[in-house]
A and B are shown apart, each in its own frame.
Chain A
Amino acid sequence: MALFTQSFVITLFLGAIAAGIPLLLAGLGEQLSEKAGVMNIGLEGMMLFGAYTGFLAAWASGSPSLGFIAGAGGGVVVASLMALLCVRLGLNQIVTGIALTLAAEGLTALLHFVQFSRTYPRLDGVAPLPIWPLSEIPFVGPVLFNNNAVFYLAIVLVVVFSWIYRQTHLGAALLAAGDKPAALDAAGVDVMRTRAMAVLITGALAGLGGAYMSIAVAGVFVPFMSHGNGFIAIVLAMLARGRPLWVLGGALLFGGSLSLTTALQVAGIDVPTDVIQMLPFAMVMVVLLVAGRKAALPQALGESFVRGAR
């Protein structure tokens, strides 16, 4: 088949990675929060706000690294609101999450309009960090070992999170916070603090994912640019049943379907973009149909914890 030239396949894989990394980061974060019992619907807002703050910092300082840090920070800002409202004050997690997402969308669109609507500044992209000599391997090298630092960090996080969940007291505490918070409380661990920490880390990861989209992939900030990625990440986290490696697989799958558009264009096949852009969402439906029924969620997911309440 003429379609599967090497350049097509490499473009497809690179695209899958570019689109998959934000999903992976946000999905890992959501998985963490859900384990701890917080349904983080505000993920989309955290990504978007991170994309904005990350772009702003990278543009102002000229340093993508500072941009990534600022993106994570932006996510944490939104997440701290989530932690305050849902964990501390026990408000409804779904409603709060939706409100935060809408607020982030409105705020970033407004700020973008005020600052950049005439100039439309672009960033140069992020220089890759080739891992020599692995980067010289044909095909595998350019796809896996010639990427930027955030990519490597995301992969390392998959391993780190797996280790935390399986091997540490923290992993057990997180599970307990989501499954039986009263048991964790009785064991002398602060449930609110455990959950708040999980939400803040989620914010940082989602913000970093957003910044990756604006700084490394697009090079610009566009209002609403997170484009449903946060919600796909929520689905990913749910389907992954607590396993970080499954989030990685899911992120690449969805990232692949997101990147098909570009890859098909490279191959010279003209399919209306509107059709192609539906692909990831159609994929969500299909995967949910196949695997969603068996997804097990923590018992106390979405419930705020009040000591002594039954």
Chain B
Amino acid sequence: MQAPIQAPAASVPAPSGAPVVALRGVTKRFPGVTASDNVTVEIRSGEVHVLLGENGAGKSTLVAMLAGLQQPDEGHIEIDGAPVAVTSPKQALAMGIGTVFQHSMLVPSLTVVDNFALGGVWWKRPDRAGIAGRIEETAKRLGLRVDPYALVSGLALGERQQVEILRALMRGSRCLILDEATAMLTPHEAVGLGELMRRLVAQGIAVIFITHKLNEAIAYGDRISVLRLGRNVGEIGPETLRSATDAENTERIIALMFGTSRAGEGSRGEHRTRVVGDSVLQVENLCSEAGRVPVRDVTFSVRSGEIFGIAGIDGNGQKELAEVLAGQAQSSAGSIRLMGREIGGTSVGDRRKSGLRYVTDDRLGEGTVGIFAVATNFLLKDIGAAPYWQRGIEHPEEIRRQADRHVQDFDIRTPGIQTPVGKLSGGNIQKVLLARELTGAAQAVIFAKPTYGLDVNNIRATRKRIGGAADAGKAVVLISTDLDELLELADRIAVIDRGSIRGIVENGEGARDAIGRLMSAGDDR
């Protein structure tokens, strides 16, 4: 803790030097998923290296392995070219890898100084004055202002982050990992962090910046590695990044993130024959402040037999929009009309009765009750309703008959209808949800990331159900982060960005590029 920063402030970054830290062929498996699949990444000093990817792309797993929280199953980590095993956070620090996690790792009830002093000999007094002096000195060199005696709970999130960066540097980190560092920040704070990253690399530090936001990756990164489903699908080096325009870079990255443009887009066609009817669901100027991302001025309408897709990078208000539509979150302005009737102010149950269904992406959290039987979960939203209940008395044979029918119709692989739904696989839980939401007098169905986390067969089955719902004349809203899925199923695709719709594209020739342009256009703001 004595030497504040090991690389002297005047040292010139060595852009083409040997990597400070490298992951070589790293694979990490968790039950049911391969979180990292043979990933190789090299981190050089004096560079901001962006790890870019959607949620579930395996970014956090890489961070956890570098920070010593998890060990790779295959492959290894190298520091200065030598293979090492990073077995604890303490060891990671000792090797010069400092991590600033998305969720603050400061103790809120302690002052900044005491947070820095954590871990000293137990009966000794922390050297508060000395540490405070070093904090101020380091902060000054980085152009930051930090009050060492402030209580952490009183600091803004951006300030806490600066404190964490300072701490990592004062412990001699040569490689600084910033995990989803801008996720919790205000836009202003995020810009400040970007500038701070530039100053850090100017002092010879290697920065790993993890994000799912394209615009930040391009604005702050020297080198961008794109992760997709646990694999490193491509790297864009500093030369390319600097020589190309932002628009070209964006296009290149979107191609890596969502798969390359394929000529023809052949897989669609069947639903072209669908008869598109009258407008069923009309949303006008819908706003909501209820969620983490505010929904702003959303307008669209969906006709019967039509699939309306909503594309966008995850966390841009998709979940919030779905919840406002379903009635789980309150709207602050605008109207939602179903079959011409205003339903904006009604409860979840009323909306369901008037024919609106919502297939949530949080299957086990809010979609089903894990410890309840499959048969009960089918009726979760109809408890007390005839014919399964009559005058408050349960009619088990009706419930059983309906459950058997669902299990057969939806091909649900379950040991029995009395099996707790939590024991089933993700794909089968999704089928239980689909069976519940797609039966009865549905007029409009909202799907939120319906194939997220499923395997190939279940993805097929789910997509078929979505198509089937539209074939049956329902109006379908399909929210997805998988562009291929939208291009396969949807008739029209809207792009959502920070809670508002950027534009709506007719699906067909050139739709992929048009969507890509909309996604990146939003980043300029």
Contact = CB atoms under 8 A, between A and B. Distances in A.
B115 to A, nearest CB: 7
Interface of A: 167-170, 172-173, 175-176, 179-180, 182-189, 298-299, 307-308, 310
Given A175-B107, A188-B93, A168 B114 contact: no
A169 B93 CA distance: 20
B90 A188 contact: yes
B109 A298 contact: yes
B122 A183 contact: no
Contact of A176 (B90, B103, B118, B124): B118
Interface centre among A183, A184, A307 (most CB of B within 10 A): A183
B126 A188 contact: no
Given A186-B89, A188-B119, A172 B114 contact: yes
Nearest to A35: B109
A298 B109 CA distance: 8
B121 interface: yes
A169 B117 CA distance: 7
A179 B121 CA distance: 20
Contacts of A169: 117-126
Interface residues on B, range: 20 to 34
19 contacts: A169-B123, A170-B122, A172-B118, A173-B119, A179-B107, A179-B109, A179-B110, A180-B107, A182-B105, A183-B105, A186-B89, A186-B93, A186-B105, A188-B89, A189-B119, A308-B64, A308-B69, A308-B70, A310-B103
B108 A307 contact: no
Contacts of B114: 172
Contacts of B142: none
A168 B109 contact: no
Interface of B: 64, 69-70, 89-90, 93, 99, 103-110, 114-115, 117-126
Nearest to B119: A187
Secondary structure at the A interface, as helix, strand, loop or mixed, is: helix
A305 to B, nearest CB: 13
A188 B108 CA distance: 18
Contacts of A310: 103
B495 to A, nearest CB: 30
Contacts of A187: 90, 118-119
Contact of A307 (B69, B99, B110, B118): B69
Given A170-B122, A172-B117, A186-B89, A180 B70 contact: no
Contacts of B122: 168-170, 173
A310 B110 CA distance: 21
B64 to A, nearest CB: 6
A258 B117 CA distance: 43
A169 B128 CA distance: 11
B127 to A, nearest CB: 10
Interface centre among A169, A172, A189, A308 (most CB of B within 10 A): A172
A99 to B, nearest CB: 23
A190 to B, nearest CB: 10
Given A175-B110, A176-B118, A188-B93, 11 more contacts: A168-B125, A169-B122, A170-B123, A172-B126, A175-B107, A176-B110, A180-B106, A180-B107, A184-B118, A186-B93, A189-B119
Contacts of B105: 180, 182-183, 186
Contacts of A184: 107, 118-119
B242 to A, nearest CB: 35
Contacts of A175: 107, 109-110
Nearest to B153: A179
Contacts of A186: 89-90, 93, 99, 105
A166 to B, nearest CB: 9
Contacts of B119: 169, 173, 184, 187-189
A183 B115 contact: yes
Contacts of B108: 179-180, 299
